[in-house]
Chain A
Amino acid sequence: MTGLLAELFAQYHGSLVRMLYRRTGDQDRAEEIAQETFARAVAAPPRNPRPWLFAVALNLVREDARKASRQGRRLVLYKAEQPESAASPEEELDRSERIALVRAALDSLTERDREALLLKAEGFNYDEIAATLGLARGAIGTTLARARKRLVEAYRAGEEKRHVAS
């Protein structure tokens, strides 16, 4: 069991945390949810681990968001993420603003579109995305086409506003 967990962890932890971070915008939360996901994998070892792990993790994110919503919290937070780089203040500020715009654009998508996009970014193929999200394989191309279009449009709209404001 420990060996299996170690193997799963080595293979998927980085990708899972990255996807969760993109989804939540909070590294601590991403890591906590990943830990909880692996803990559940120990309790009930999955046959098809990658879609299983990502599906459980995304369920936990949704559950967490619902809880937050019931408590009246507003979890939307477009934070200025601080890259450790030698970039100039202007470059850093610009990058930080672009990241906030991407987050806002991503949050404007439907849950399904957003998750499909994030899974694709982790290298999932259509079969895996379909298995993770419980969709028909034939719907994945359309879902991704719509998600990409909306993401880019929302981002461009945000960019336009930013330039008008500055």
Chain B
Amino acid sequence: MSHLESGTIHALLDGEIPSAELGPIQAHLAACAECRALLEAERRLQTESDGLIELLELPGDVSQAEGAPRRRWVRGLAWAASLVAAVGIGWAGRGWQQPNPPRRTSADQVAAPLPPPPVVPVAAPGPMPATANLPERSPAGNLARTKTATRRAPAPVVAQKELKPELESRDVITSALPPRADSGVLAREPQVAVAPPPAAGATTSGVSVPLAAERKSPALRLGAFALTAAPPEAIGLPDAVRRLGGSLRLIEGMVPLRLEAQGQTVRVVYATAQGELVLSQRLVDGRVEVTLLAPAGFSPDSLARLRSRVRE
């Protein structure tokens, strides 16, 4: 009998050789060291290949995902982002319109995990359900943490009423982002018009901040502080490219969560388990200045590796 073909060996490993044909194959293997070595090599190859395929797991259980809100615009953006990288910037400026991004809902926050506080107390819209029953590592864990933190520093009722419609949008919630990023790097963003916390009873962006609450809660202070910054504005890809003079940078291998503009700065936001990672870019004297803003807990090594993957 001639040597075994690799197809036969794989059929053997897969248990697909009919029993009537097994005898001669086994006899050959017993006599042929070369084929036994090949069998062993193919077995290792099969194991490795199976392991690679298994790496491609569905993110989350299918049955749960069916009820989950779709974030198609993010995928559209991801597609468009890869397209820009692939075919160049010129195309992007010619009228492709990104659909309006959806309002950020609680479910969206769960899908795009945010780190624990700091929290703008008024960011939890509507009545606050109990959170004690939510498991710490549940998909809603971040939401649970947010709500818990909010309960520790309850917002004045007047502030909740006034801000509720606005705070259901992603923009205002996002304006509380600065503390999550590396503050040293963030300080280089002149577009964020940071004003001092308002005086007692003063109104900032329609929020009444009583002095007592401000004293008790650093989170509240931070929230009021953040609300004075120019809120980021959701933008589409062509707009981002235009603002940067035709040269948007992206992190290779990562899919942007959204694009924002804050003043002259374009922010490409990515979700990580530690929070949102921001690739901030702005045009200065015809050149694009790029800053990578990492959430707390992100190691310098990881940041350096990501920095090396920033591509135009």
Question: Interface of A with B (CB < 8 Å)?
Answer: 13-14, 17-18, 21-22, 25-28, 30-31, 73-90, 92-93, 95-100, 102-103, 105-106, 117-118, 120-121, 125-126, 139-149, 151-152, 155, 165-166
Contact = CB atoms under 8 A, between A and B. Distances in A.
Contacts, number: 149
B273 A92 contact: yes
A94 B79 CA distance: 22
A140 to B, nearest CB: 7
21 contacts: A18-B58, A18-B62, A28-B71, A28-B75, A75-B79, A76-B82, A77-B79, A79-B255, A82-B272, A84-B139, A85-B273, A92-B273, A97-B253, A120-B14, A121-B50, A139-B7, A140-B16, A141-B5, A147-B49, A148-B45, A165-B308
A125 B86 CA distance: 39
A127 B183 CA distance: 60
B11 interface: yes
A83 B139 CA distance: 11
A145 B87 contact: no
A157 to B, nearest CB: 13
Contacts of A83: 57, 59
Given A21-B58, A102-B56, A87 B79 contact: no
Nearest to B257: A82
A87 B56 contact: no
Residue picked from B56, B58, B305, most chain A C-beta under 10 Å: B56
Nearest to B72: A28
B253 A100 contact: yes
A78 to B, nearest CB: 6
Contacts of B48: 152
B65 interface: yes
B53 interface: yes
Given A18-B62, A27-B65, A96-B253, A149 B45 contact: yes
